[in-house]
Amino acid sequence: MYKRYPSIQSMHAFLQAARTGSFTKAAQQLDLTHSAISQQIRSLEEFIGQPLFVREAGGIVLTDAGQLFASMLTDGFGQVDRALSSVRNRHVPQTLIVDVDSELAQGWLNARLPQLLAALPGYQVMFLSTTRGERPSFERVDVSLRYGYGEWDDCEMALVCGDHVTAVAAPALLTRHGVQAPLAPSAAMTLPLLGYTRRSWIPWLDAAALEPLEPAVVAAFDNAANMVAAAEAGVGVALVRGLLAADALQHGRLVRLTDVAIPAHYNLYAVWQRGQGERAQAVVNAVQQLARDTLGA
């Protein structure tokens, strides 16, 4: 509910009169007439409902209510001054709220935050990581970086990058089993395998001309970044997107086992509310460039 307050001028007049003990001196310091100061104080007293000064022959004296009000009002104006000083003549950056898929953050984007922020000068970026099924999150952010099939019909979107899925493993796993990359696809399937709840092995097996039968796995994951970490630890062979495995491959923590690669249909998109493309575009451009740099596209 809107609250009515006394005028700033009347409160300044009151504080000046309280400090000087004189309406006349207060009027001189504020470049007002004596009658103007008197009227300001009178209107303030009417608003409060009790006198703030006792008029005496030698000047004015604060009542108990006046002393309390003067003390608290001084603190209040001090807070106002600090609030104004905090923003006056100061550049306040625009805020961008970016929702990032947790797999993408863990497996790729976090390592590239310096480059991303450098590409967004003048912005203060807030990163969120909401659950996949939380559709209303699109309404609370400027842009979401999500994996999907491009199924957000009521939003605007841009494909960040196409990707491919390949079989990878840690060098230590290959050493334990006495083999070296590259391997024939059939040989790769004799090693311990990892599963991902959003990906079947069957399309890759089809591309490798092997029997399209879902294989047994030693462990399965609902988070691709965790699956990549397990592969790096030598737990088993994983089918991974190039973007999420790029750093591990570059630094030798993982190696590609075969030449078989299949297009990823579950790809990375930037998604934003209709009509909000101008705010989203800077993030979209920056992330697309980072993806191109990563994949060499």
CATH number of the domain that residue 237 is part of: 3.40.190.10
**Do 73 and 214 belong together in one domain?**
no
Residues 223 and 149 in one domain: no
Contact predicate 207/189, CB 8 Å: no
C-beta of residue 129 within 8 angstroms of C-beta of residue 101: yes
Helices (H), the chain: 8-20, 23-30, 34-48, 64-87, 102-104, 113-118, 171-176, 185-188, 202-207, 224-232, 242-250, 277-295
For the segment 46-68, the average pLDDT, to the nearest whole number, is 86
Examine the domain organization and report whether 155 and 277 are in the same domain. yes
Please check whether residue 3 lies inside any domain of the structure.
Answer: no
The arithmetic mean of pLDDT across residues 116-140, rounded, is 79
39 plus 122 within the same structural domain: no
CA-based diameter of the chain, in Å? 108
Out of 77-81, 159-163, 252-256, 271-275, least confident range = 77-81
Mean pLDDT for the stretch of residues 5-32: 87
Task: Write phi, then psi, for 33 (nearest 5 degrees).
Answer: -85, 160
Q: How far apart are CA 56 and CA 207, in angstroms?
A: 101
Going across the sheet that includes 94-100, the strands are: 123-128, 94-100, 143-148, 255-272, 156-169, 238-241
Same domain, 260 and 167: yes
Are 177 and 192 members of one domain? Answer: yes
pTM of the predicted model over 0.75 = no
Q: Based on the fold, state whether residues 147 and 179 are members of the same structural domain.
A: no
Contact (Cβ atoms closer than 8 angstroms) between residue 100 and residue 127: yes
Of 64, 87, 110, the residue that ends a domain is 87
Number of domains in the chain: 3
* Better-scored residue on pLDDT, 242 or 58: 242
Q: Band the pLDDT of 281: cuts 50, 70, 90.
A: very high
259 and 288 share a domain?
no
Domain interval for residue 174: 163-264
CA distance 169 to 189: 12
With a cut of 90, say whether residue 136 has pLDDT above it: no
Q: Which of 87, 112, 132 is the last residue of a domain?
A: 87
Same domain membership, residue 197 and residue 58 = no
Both ends of the chain: CA-CA distance in Å? 57
More confident residue, 238 or 155: 238
Residue 2 in any domain: the answer is: no
Domain termination residue (choose one: 26, 58, 87): 87
Find where tokens 């591309």 sit.
Answer: 207
